[in-house]
Structure 1
Amino acid sequence: MEENKIQNSKATVRTPIIVGTTLALGILIGATFFGGRRPAGDVSRSSSKFREILSYINRSYVDSVNTDSLVDYSITKMLEKLDPHTYYFPPQDAELARSQLESGFDGIGIEFNVFNDTVYVVTPLAGGPSEAVGIQSGDAIIKANDNNLTGKEASSTNIFANLRGKRGSVAKLEIKRKGFKDLLKFSVTRDKIPQYAIDAAYLMSDKKTGYLKINRFTETTYDEFKEHMANLQKQGMKQLLLDLRGNPGGYMDKATDIVDELVAGKGVIVYTDGKDSRNNRKSHAHIDGMFEKGPIVVLVDEGSASASEIVSGALQDYDRALVVGRRTFGKGLVQQPIQLSDGSELRLTISRYYIPSGRGIQKPYVKGHLENYDHELDDRGKSGEYFVADSIKNNPKMRFKTMGGRTVYGGGGVTPDIFVPRDTSHITKYLMELYGRNIIREYAMSYANENSKNLSKQSFDSYLKDFTVSDAMLNDMNRRLNQTGVTYTAKEFADSKDFIKSQLKAAIARHIWHRSVKNGLNNEYYQIIYQDDPMIETAIKSFVKAEKLERERKL
C-alpha cells in the first residue's frame, strides 16, 4: 500500500508536509517551536502595558485584590479570542490534566464515587496500597490527614489533593464502614498507581471476533494494544471490532502506531500544517503489522475525537476498515503543552492535521465566538442528526476519495460508512434520577459486598447465563431512590426496566470479578451491557461488508 495510490486533486489536497510524534488533545511536538516570527518589541510593548496596569491595581486599588486570580482570568479571556482548543490550566489543575495521559500516578489506589456529598470506595485497586491495608468496597472516606472530604469539601480538586501525593508519603484516612459505630482509621502509604487505556479485550461468542475497547490514547495505549491483540490472536481471532466510542483522543503517536499495526505498506498515516514550518511533519506506516489481514469494523460516535478520528479516518481512507456509528466530534487541531514557571500549563494550538486522503477533520469555528462551537453537539441533536443519517450535512466542497475510490468528507469529523441512530427508548427522567444520584452503582456495590461469597463461587460464564436481577432487587433499589425524595413513576420505570436490569447485573459482575484483575480490563462488565447494544449488533452484521471491502482492496 503506497501513499501515491490515494489520488485527490491538487486543489483538494494540501501539499503533504512532514508529520512526526504529536499529541491530540494535549499534542506534544517538542520544545523549540517558538522562534519569534513576530518582532520581540511588539510582544514586549503589549506585556509592559499589562504589567503596568496590574501594578497600579496592586498598589492603589481601593480594595485588596488577588492579582494571581486576575492574571489567570486575563489569560483565560485572552485565549477565548483564539481557537476552541488552546487552553490554560492554572497550577492546581495542570498536574491533574497531565496525569490523564500518563501511565500512572502516585496515590492510595482506589476507584471512588461521590454519592450524597460523600466519597465512597467503589473498589480498592488489585495489588494497590489501599487493598493491602484492608480498605473495602463501600467504605466512606470521611477525612484524609484531618481534612474533611464530605459536604462542600467533596470536590474533585479537594479529593485529588488529599488522596494523591508523593510515592512513599502517608495518607491517614478516617473511614465509616457499615456495621461499625466508630470511624475506622487507616494509614495508607501512597504508591505508583497504573492507569489503563484499554477497558475490554475479549473474544466474542462467535469465537472469531475480537472485541477491543480503547478509552483514550495514553503513554501505555500502544503497548496494551499489542499485548491484548496477541492474546486475542492466540484465542483464534479472525476479525477485529475496535470500539472508539467516547474516546476523546490523546497522544497522536500512539494512534499512528496502532494504525501502523493494521495497514500494510508505507503510506502516509497523518501529516500536519502550521504557521511555523518546524511544526510540519509526516508520519508513514513502516512496520510489518500484527493484523494487516482480516476484516475490521471500527465503532465511533460524537464523543470520538482527535486521535480517535486519526485511527478511524486513516483506516477508512485506506479502505482497511468499515466505520460504523455516528459522525465523530471533529477535532483536527494540534496542541503543544507548555509548562510555565509556576506549574501552570498552556496548551497552544500550533498546527492542523490531515489524514491520508488529504482531508482535515476539524469542524468550523469562529475565533472569539466559541459559544457556537461549544453547542455544536447540541445542534446536531436539534437537527435530527443523531437519529437520521440523511440529517448529516457534509460540506460538498470537502469531498475526498479513499484509496478504493469511495467518497468521504472532511471539515467536520469522520462520517461513518454505516449509520446507527441513538437508542433513546429506555431514556426516562426516572432513569436519569437513578444515574444522577448514583443509585444503580451504589446498590450494585452493596449487593456485591453482601453476596460476594456466593457469587464468587460460580464462574462468570455461569453468572452471565443464569443470574437474573429480581423484582425484589429492583424494588429495593427503587426504595433507596424514593428515600432521596424522587417519586416512583410506574410508566417511566417500565420503559427503563430492561436497561436498568442490564446495568445492575453488569455493575455487580464488575465488583465481583474485577477485584482480582491487575490488567485494567472490565471484560465481564462490557460483555453484559453490550448484549443488546444496537451498535454492536450492527457491527457484527457489517463484517460481511468489511470482508468484501478487504477483498476489493486486494484486487
Structure 2
Amino acid sequence: MQQDNTSKSHKLSVWFPLMFAIVLVIGMLIGMRMQTAAPALAVEQETTTDGLGQGKVEEILRYVEAKYVDPVDRDALLQEVIDDLLGRLDPHSNYISAEDLREVNEQLEGNFDGIGVEFMMLDDTIVVVAPLAGGPSEAAGILAGDKIIQIADSTIAGVNMSTSGIIELLRGEKGTAVEVGVLRRGETALREYTITRDEIPMNSVDASYMLNDKVGYIKLNRFSATTYEEFMKGLEEMVEKEGMEDLVIDLRHNPGGYLQQATSILSQLFRRKDQLLVFTEGRSVSRNDYTSTGRAFFDVDDIVVLIDEGSASASEILAGAIQDHDRGTVIGRRSFGKGLVQEQYKLKDGSALRLTVARYYTPSGRSIQKPYDDPEAYDKEMYDRYETGELESEARMVIQDSTAYYTDNGRVVYGGGGIMPDIFVPIDSLATHELYLELRQYVPEFVFRHISGEGQPLTELSLEAFDRTFQVEPELVADFLSFARSKDDGIAAMIPPFLQAEVRHMLKARIAKHLFDNKGYYYIWNQRDDMVNAALKVLTSPNPQTASQQ
C-alpha cells in the first residue's frame, strides 16, 4: 500500500510495540493495492494500443521529450500519469509492469518454471532445505543440506546476493537447463549438476489433516487456478481414508484470488442445486449469479470457517456464503473488507491493467467492501484496528454499515466492512510481544542447523509418534537462546517462563515441518491455536450451529 510516510513514521514512533504485531499479522497485506490475489473474473483481454500513453497524453509527452529545457525520463513521467489516474479510482485498480507481471501471474496460476528447491541463506551461502518432491532437482540428485556454490558461470557463495537475484538465476523457461555447482557435507570438491527446469507447483493448500477422529482441517493460503483441485484432493483423502465428518476451513491471512475457485469449493459444501453463492454487478457489467451445482462429491456435515483481518476477497466470498445460508459457523475476527472484482487486461508492451469492473454481494445482498473515498484512511484502516483495540475485544468491532441483512435462519448480519464472525476470538497477546517476535525470526535457521547437525533418527517416526514422544529439552532451548543472542546481543540470557513454553512449542512445530512438511508444522502448531480450539469446541458441542440449508 502507498502510505503517507510522515504520518506513518509518527504513528510508529508512538505505537512502537504495535509495529511487531503489524509485521506478524498483516505483513501479508502490505501492497494490497498491487494484490496478487485479487478476486478476478478470470478474463484476460488484449488491448489494441501500445500501452496507456495514447491520445492527448501521448501528444504532450512527445512535446516534453522534444522541447523541454532539461532531459526527462519518459517512462518515469508516464508511470506517474498512470499512477495518478488509477489512484483516483479505487485502491485495487492498478497497473502491473511487464517486470512484475510474471510474478503476479505465477501467484494466480499456481505454478512457475524452475528447478524445484526450497532454500535459505546461511552465512551468505544458499543451503537447500529440501528438493521439492517429484521436481527436477530431486530427479537430478540434489539433497537437503547441499550448498549451492555456483549457478551457471556465476559464483554466488559469499557474495551477499539477494534472494530475488538468486531466484532469477534459478528460474527460467520450462525445458531449459542450468548448471549448478553443489558442495555436499564432508566433501571438498564441487558436484556439478545439469538441471532441466520444469513446471513447479505453488500449492495453495498448506495442509490438510484430521484434528481428531471426526474433524478435518484444510488451510488455504490463496485462491489460485489450482485451489479447487488441491482442496478436493485433501477432502477426498480425509473423507475416504480417515472417515472425516466435519470440516474446519482455515482462511486466515488468505488475501483471496480467483472468484470461480471459491464458488467451486462452495458447490462442494452445498448439496442443493442452484443455491445462490455470490453475485457480481457493476456499471457496465450486468448481474451475474454464481450458484451451487448440486454435484457435491462428498458428504460434509458441520463446517467452521476461520477468518481474521488478513482474510480478503475470495476468502470473504466463501465465509459470507457459509454464514448467509447458516451452513456453518464463522470464527475469528472481522475480515479485511474487499468486495471489488477485477478484470486483468494485457497490454501490448507486456504490462497489464487490473481494473475494478464490479462489486460482489453475498447471498443475503451484502456488499462487504469497506469505504475507500478517503485513500489515506483506507490505507491506515488496519492500523486503526490495533489502536482502537478491536482485535482484542468484540465490543470494539466496527460496523461500517448498520443496514440489517438476514441469514436463511433469520439471524442479522452486516456488511460494509468485512465479514463479522459468529464467534469472536481475540488476537493472541504474543502478537504484540517484542521479545517473542524477536526470537521467532531466528527459529527457522536454528532448527535447520540443529536438524542438519544432529542426524537424529526422527525421520523413522510417524508424525503421531513424533508428537507423542519428542520433547524439546531445556538444553535445546538454551542452545536456541545462545544462537539468538549471537544474532542479537540485546536478547537477555533468561526469558520469562511463559515465553519458554512458547519457544518450546515453536521449536517443536518447526522441527515437525522439516520432518513432515507443512502438515507436520500445522499438526503441532494448531494444538495451541485459540481459533482451532474454538472450532473444535463448536464441532464437539451437542448442538453446533449448522446446516439447515444444504
TM-score normalized by the length of structure 1: 0.85
Matched to 1:550, the amino acid is T
Q: Which residue of 2 aligns with 1:517?
A: none
Q: Which residue of 2 aligns with 1:88?
A: 95
Q: Does 1:220 align with 2:216?
A: no
Are the aligned partners of 1:138 and 1:446 in contact in 2 as well (CA < 8 Å)? no
Alignment of 1:42-61 (within 5 A): 47-61=54-68
Q: Which residue of 2 aligns with 1:446?
A: 449
Q: Does 1:487 align with 2:490?
A: yes
Alignment of 1:179-190 (within 5 A): 179-180=186-187, 185-190=192-197
Aligned-pair Cα RMSD in Å: 2.9
State the secondary structure of the residue aligned to 1:113. strand
Q: Does 1:344 align with 2:351?
A: yes
State the secondary structure of the residue aligned to 1:351. strand
Give the superposition deviation at 1:523.
Answer: 1.6
Q: Which residue of 1 aligns with 2:38?
A: 25
Q: Does 1:211 align with 2:207?
A: no
Give the superposition deviation at 1:115.
Answer: 5.5
Q: Does 1:526 align with 2:522?
A: yes
Q: Which residue of 1 aligns with 2:236?
A: 230
Q: Does 1:424 align with 2:429?
A: yes
Name the CA distance, whole Å, in 1 between partners of 2:251 and 2:453. Answer: 35
Give the superposition deviation at 1:229.
Answer: 1.3
Between the two proteins, the alignment pairs up a number of residues equal to 512
Name the CA distance, whole Å, in 2 between partners of 1:430 and 1:125. Answer: 33
The match for 2:464 among 451, 461, 465 is 461
Give the superposition deviation at 1:536.
Answer: 1.0
Q: Which residue of 2 aligns with 1:16?
A: none
Give the superposition deviation at 1:213.
Answer: 1.2
Q: Does 1:394 align with 2:417?
A: no
Q: Which residue of 2 aligns with 1:404?
A: 409
Q: Which residue of 1 aligns with 2:104?
A: 97
Matched to 1:398, the amino acid is T
Name the CA shift for 1:445/1:297 in 2 (closer, same or farther; >3 Å): same
Sequence identity (%): 39
Alignment of 1:352-371 (within 5 A): 352-366=359-373, 369-371=374-376
Give the superposition deviation at 1:493.
Answer: 5.5
Are the aligned partners of 1:197 and 1:216 in contact in 2 as well (CA < 8 Å)? yes
Q: Does 1:504 align with 2:512?
A: no
Name the CA shift for 1:272/1:62 in 2 (closer, same or farther; >3 Å): same
Name the CA shift for 1:158/1:363 in 2 (closer, same or farther; >3 Å): same
Provide Cα deviations, 1:15-69, integer angstroms capped at 9, x if missing partner.
xxxxxxxx9605035357999xxxx9xx99x943322332234334566544333
State the secondary structure of the residue aligned to 1:398. coil
Name the CA shift for 1:156/1:446 in 2 (closer, same or farther; >3 Å): closer
Name the CA distance, whole Å, in 1 between partners of 2:73 and 2:54. Answer: 19
Q: Does 1:270 align with 2:272?
A: no
Name the CA distance, whole Å, in 2 between partners of 1:250 and 1:346. Answer: 16
Provide Cα deviations, 1:366-415, integer angstroms capped at 9, x if missing partner.
1xx42321221111011111110010121353321001000111001100
Name the CA distance, whole Å, in 1 between partners of 2:145 and 2:291. Answer: 49
Give the superposition deviation at 1:167.
Answer: 1.1
Are the aligned partners of 1:301 and 1:328 in contact in 2 as well (CA < 8 Å)? yes
Provide Cα deviations, 1:191-224, integer angstroms capped at 9, x if missing partner.
111222211111223x011111111111111112
Provide Cα deviations, 1:294-346, integer angstroms capped at 9, x if missing partner.
11111111111111111111010000010011111111000111111121121
Matched to 2:221, the amino acid is N
The answer for unaligned runs of 5 or more in structure 2 is: 1-35
Q: Does 1:536 align with 2:532?
A: yes
Name the CA distance, whole Å, in 2 between partners of 1:327 and 1:148. Answer: 48
Provide Cα deviations, 1:87-115, integer angstroms capped at 9, x if missing partner.
22111110011101113211010123345
Matched to 1:79, the amino acid is L
The answer for unaligned runs of 5 or more in structure 1 is: 1-22, 515-521
State the secondary structure of the residue aligned to 1:487. coil
Matched to 1:93, the amino acid is D
Q: Which residue of 1 aligns with 2:9?
A: none
